[in-house]
Chain A
Amino acid sequence: MSLISIEAASAGAAPTRGLPSRETLTRAALAIAAGAAWIAFAFVTRHWPDAGEWGRGEELAQAAAGFGAALFLAGLLGGLWPRGAERLRRYTPWLLALGLFFILWQATTAKLALLPQPFFPPPHALVEVFVDDWPKLWESVVASLKLELLGFLAGAGAGFVVGVSLGWSRAFGYWVHPAMRLIGPMPSIAWLPIAFFAFPSSYSASIFLIGLTTGFPVAVLTWSGVASVNSAYYDVARTLGASRAFLIFKVAIPAALPHVFVGLFMGLGASFAVLVTAEMMGVKAGLGFYLQWAQGWAAYANMYAALLVMSLMCSGLITLLFRLRDRLLSWQKAEVQW
């Protein structure tokens, strides 16, 4: 208790001297509860006998107990480092919920076998996959990332060039616009059978398909962005002696960039589906292939592990794109929020 009153004194916000504020109490209680949940999870894992054979229960229990104890202590001693405690406070509700979820998961799978086995492996089965099979998972991530980035960058680049040309050249628009109207809305997976024999390798076919998926929304949005540039910007630039190239590169493209990024987000999101499909159908590497392979061996824990890694990879890429956008478009922070 004395530690809590130290905290209240250092926070300085307590209404009455010596009594911790409501916020301080909630903060400590949440961290302690989260810690308790993780310790309980460790206890359940360690001491409630499994209904089947799954490895790495011991290691998981130790890790969970350590993590729980750390949370517990952080709750008790939060007052010593208010800023850290403040930051932790943002996560404790989630950590508490996760701890409870893990207990439920553990109980319904390994302990009571309420969920049909082997389709729902317990947490320590996933831990086993990560610990024992990480070289292969890592290899798959690298392969997926490489394919995704090759296709995405090629498609985004091509889409951008097509979009700018559409917005700028009437002749280009005359020929390309109808083709885009016809082909663009079709899901690019439909090209898959053709692509696999039309291209020298299934790898290059996959790059093409991912590129196509990315390129279409990027082209359409770049085009609409260029088309909707305020004509007053052109007037200003022209009276100041701007050449055609200056109008394109220094006026049209920067002004259209917010639209371009919408296209990039749409393209990136759509390209993940094509990536996984292509890896499942033809490319013998990557997370999609890993999933396929795990399914073939009925290795369900491996499937869940691969899914988890895949979701981390996709959300990581989206986050990176957000960072890039925030950096390039910092000028419009006050203008548009989306």
Chain B
Amino acid sequence: MVSLAHDIAREPGVEISVHEVSHRFDLEGAPLPVLDRVSFTARRGEFVALLGPSGCGKSTLLRLVAGLEPPTEGVVAADGARIDGPDPSRVVVFQDPTLFPWRNVRDNVALGLEAQGLLKQRGARIDETLRLVGLENFAKALPHQLSGGMAQRVALARALVNDPDLLILDEPLGKLDSLTRLSMQGEIVNLWRRAGFTALLVTHDIEEALLMATRVIVFSERPASIKADIAIDKPYPRHRDDPDLVERRREILGLLGLDASW
């Protein structure tokens, strides 16, 4: 009951601040610097897209924000409190769907509620969320019976069912065909606008970032540092042919060193 009261009382979303974060991995004895003094703040309810070359350290940054690993240097904080471990208010949709192959779709989506002991209280959310991602007819299917795109949608549902304050998306639409991809982009944006959580989205697709985010942060090659931080003040739904967005796209391509090819 206490948690329910808390649910109603709290404002959705969370402020995430990344302060002077550097991170190194140990690759066969030699240190591999991956993040180099990265600082930014995602305000409550903001939708921040992270763009950067492959292997620059975007997924690593998301792991730090999720609390799966502590940064080598610097601080990551949620609403001012240092993040020192994972928490179900910050959920991740990983680059791979990583569904549990021994659980059917419904039980995969139920994972978070089950782990937090909320299955009885909020179990109805599961079917609701399955409908949301269009998989209500596949509740009993096993992961190996799904297509790649369906699996990715299950992973999305598994995250959303927890009503997170922060939704961390690591190229969640990378495996979808372009049509599903478009509709899912719209779907995620609608969800975000309705629920008001803070969103961090890693993507390779500049257009996707411009269509969805309120802000795009562009990273350099590894070790990643912030090259540009661009606000996208455009109402939704956005159109890809919008001249402002086309202009932004050219700008970002230039930042990524691809201006010549497009």
Contact = CB atoms under 8 A, between A and B. Distances in A.
Interface of A: 230, 232-233, 235-243, 246, 250-251, 254-255, 257, 329, 331-332, 334-335
Nearest to A258: B102
Interface of B: 63, 66-68, 86-88, 90-92, 94, 96, 98, 100-103, 111-112, 114-116, 142-145, 158, 162
A240 B91 contact: yes
A240 B102 contact: no
B88 A241 contact: yes
B162 A335 contact: no
B112 A254 contact: no
Contact of A251 (B67, B100, B145): B100
B86 A250 contact: no
A233 B98 contact: yes
Given A240-B116, A240-B158, A230 B98 contact: yes
B111 A331 contact: no
A232 B67 CA distance: 14
A241 B142 CA distance: 23
Contacts, number: 71
Given A239-B92, A240-B115, A242-B115, A331 B102 contact: yes
17 contacts: A232-B98, A235-B63, A235-B68, A236-B98, A237-B111, A237-B115, A238-B68, A239-B66, A239-B67, A239-B92, A240-B112, A240-B116, A241-B115, A329-B102, A331-B102, A331-B103, A335-B101
B23 to A, nearest CB: 16
Contacts of B103: 331
The list of the 7 closest CB pairs from A to B, nearest first, reads: A241-B88, A240-B112, A242-B115, A241-B116, A334-B144, A232-B98, A238-B86
Nearest to A331: B102
Contacts of B102: 254-255, 257, 329, 331-332
Contacts of A230: 98
B88 A331 contact: no
Contact of B86 (A232, A239, A255, A331): A239
